[in-house]
Amino acid sequence: MSLIKFLKIVGKLKKVKRTGWLVAGIKNPESVAEHSYRLAVLSMVLGKKFNLNTEKLIKMSLIHDLAEGEVGDLVLERGQKQVMSPKKKLKLEKDVLKKIFGELDDKDQYLTLWQETQELKTPEARILKQLDKLEMIMQALEYEGEVNPKNLDEFWTNARKYLKNPKLLLFLEELSNLRNQKRSQNR
């Protein structure tokens, strides 16, 4: 795959809307590209605070959802229900990424980073998973403030399930306090 084809797939991420927000009834939700951008900025700012390889963390954040340019935003769970098996999603995305990275000079490095992200075996991968959920919560808070949807509690519950790092849990508490303040003001 040429660099131009690769960049076209990357560009598709600007149009792929995040499935969870669509299901929650958010009109005109963020795209995968918008999510990945803020996740990359979070990685840039927080990587050093966690004594991680920041460049690696940023790369992981930029490629973690790259397959969605071809397969869409596939979700594993919705509420308490599993929608797709993790094994099936992993295989589908890995096969797509092999094609996407096809002719790039660093294709093996990118595929390895993506695989590492999925396996959660390194400190960078584990923090990235948590930052991914934290970014989701920041977006939920924004949606709750802007469009006042029916209920985004399931996103908060999902994030709490994955966040383990004490510093990130404190940040989640700050976001939760902001949410509670906004809710009490709207009553």
As a whole number of angstroms, the distance between CA 116 and CA 134 comes to 20
What element of type H or E holds 77? strand 77-78
Which residues face 78 on adjacent strands? 81
Cβ contacts of 45 within 8 Å, gap of 6 or more: none
In the prediction, which pLDDT does 84 show?
67
Q: How confident is the model at residue 123 (pLDDT cuts 50, 70, 90)?
A: very high
* Res. 185 pLDDT band, cuts 50 70 90: confident
CA distance 125 to 153: 26
What class does CATH assign to 3-185?
A: mainly alpha
pTM, two decimals, is: 0.90
Q: Where are the domains of the chain?
A: 3-185
* pLDDT above 60 for 7: yes
